[in-house]
Amino acid sequence: MRRMRFQKTGKAVWMSHLDTMRLMQRAFRRAGVLLHHSQGYTPHAYVSLPIPLSVGMESLCEILEYELDAELTITPEQINKVLPEGILVTDVYESDVKTKHLCLMDAELLLFYDQGIPEGCVEMIEALLSREELLIEKRTKRGPEEADIRPLLKSYRLERSGEQLRIFCTVCAQNPSLNPMLLIQAIERYAASCKPDHCRCRRLEIYDENGKVFR
């Protein structure tokens, strides 16, 4: 399995999952490397981003899977030259680890408070994250439903950083996954006074079930 690890930061965070796939398909062509194409009515290039990243989220650890005809190769330098600002390929490699082993993810939430961090905020957020149950409202096909996200939150750590509050967390990456931004929804529900005015979210690292960095 051919994989590419890349970062998505800056202006590129506003690109959707599908747009990112299209962007990478084009980048291969720009780099002069033709992706392996499917046969059939409308041939398409095989690329896949196993863990979709929400629009607006940064990531330092995105994975792209792709297929090339055996004799072809590509290097980070080759593709970085033709990528737009905010997308940076850091590694290109082959792996036989299936993506189903991608289980955990480290992420960082940066909470902005325009009037300064509210009194007792750190304690309140810590208290709510240590609850046994964290219910949030999820939109489903059957309409809004309650879901408990606490089992998907494996560990967390809070840190003051100047005027902002930082939450480091380890969450489930697949089956099911936890979008770290949902923690903000939980804060809104359980500790409304701690709701930030703005929040930035960034994926830091991905791991397999044994806590080894997933490659």
Partner 1 sequence: MNNKLERILPNVQKPARYVGGEYGQTVKDKASVDLRVAFCFPDTYEIGMSNLGMRILYAVMNQMDGVWCERVFAPWADMEEAMIQNDIPLYALESGDPISDFDMIAFTIGYEMSYTNVLNMLRLGNIPLHASERKGLSQMVFAGGACMYNPEPLADFVDFFCIGEGEEMTPEILNLYRKAKREGWTKDAFLCEVCKIEGVYVPSLYEHIYGDQGELLEIRVKEGAPKQIRKRIIQNLDTALYPTEGIVPNLEIVHDRSNLEVMRGCIRGCRFCQAGFTYRPVRPRSPKLLQKQAVEALEFSGCHEITLSSLSTSDYYALEELAGGMLDYCTPRKISLSLPSLRADNFSRELMLKLQQVKKSGLTFAPEAGTQRLRDAINKNVTEEEILHTCAIAFSGGWNSVKLYFMLGLPTETDEDVLGIADLVYKIYQTWRENASNKKRGVRIHVATAFFVPKPFTPFQWEKQITPEEYLRRTKLLKANMPAKFVEYKYHEADLSRLEAVLARGDRRLGAVLEEAVNRGCRLDAWDEYFNYSAWCEAFDCCKIDPDHYTVRGFEEGELLPWQTISDGVSTAFLSRERKKAYASETTADCRSQCAGCGANCLLEGGKCNA
The residues of the shown chain that bind partner 1, judged by CB under 8 A, are 10-12, 14-16, 18-19, 22-23, 25-30, 32, 34, 37, 41-43, 45, 55-56, 82-86, 197-198, 200
Nearest to 198 by CA among 85, 87, 105, 115: 115
Closer residue to partner 1, CB minimum distance, 18 or 97: 18
Output the smallest distance, CB 8 to partner 1, in A.
Answer: 11
Output the smallest distance, CB 35 to partner 1, in A.
Answer: 9
Output the smallest distance, CB 24 to partner 1, in A.
Answer: 10
- The single-letter DSSP state of residue 163 is T
Q: How far apart are CA 110 and CA 92, in angstroms?
A: 30
Output the smallest distance, CB 179 to partner 1, in A.
Answer: 13
Closer residue to partner 1, CB minimum distance, 40 or 146: 40
Other residues' Cβ atoms within 10 Å of the Cβ of residue 215: 14
Closer residue to partner 1, CB minimum distance, 92 or 102: 92
Output the smallest distance, CB 107 to partner 1, in A.
Answer: 16
Do residues 213 and 204 make contact, with C-beta atoms less than 8 angstroms apart?
no
Output the smallest distance, CB 28 to partner 1, in A.
Answer: 7
Do residues 131 and 164 make contact, with C-beta atoms less than 8 angstroms apart?
no
Do residues 54 and 185 make contact, with C-beta atoms less than 8 angstroms apart?
no
Q: How far apart are CA 37 and CA 45, in angstroms?
A: 4
Closer residue to partner 1, CB minimum distance, 45 or 129: 45
Closer residue to partner 1, CB minimum distance, 83 or 167: 83
**Sequential DSSP letters for 52-121:** ---TT-EEEEEEEEE-B-TT----HHHHHTTSPTTEEEEEEEE----GGG--EEEEEEEEE-TT-SPTTH
Closer residue to partner 1, CB minimum distance, 43 or 143: 43
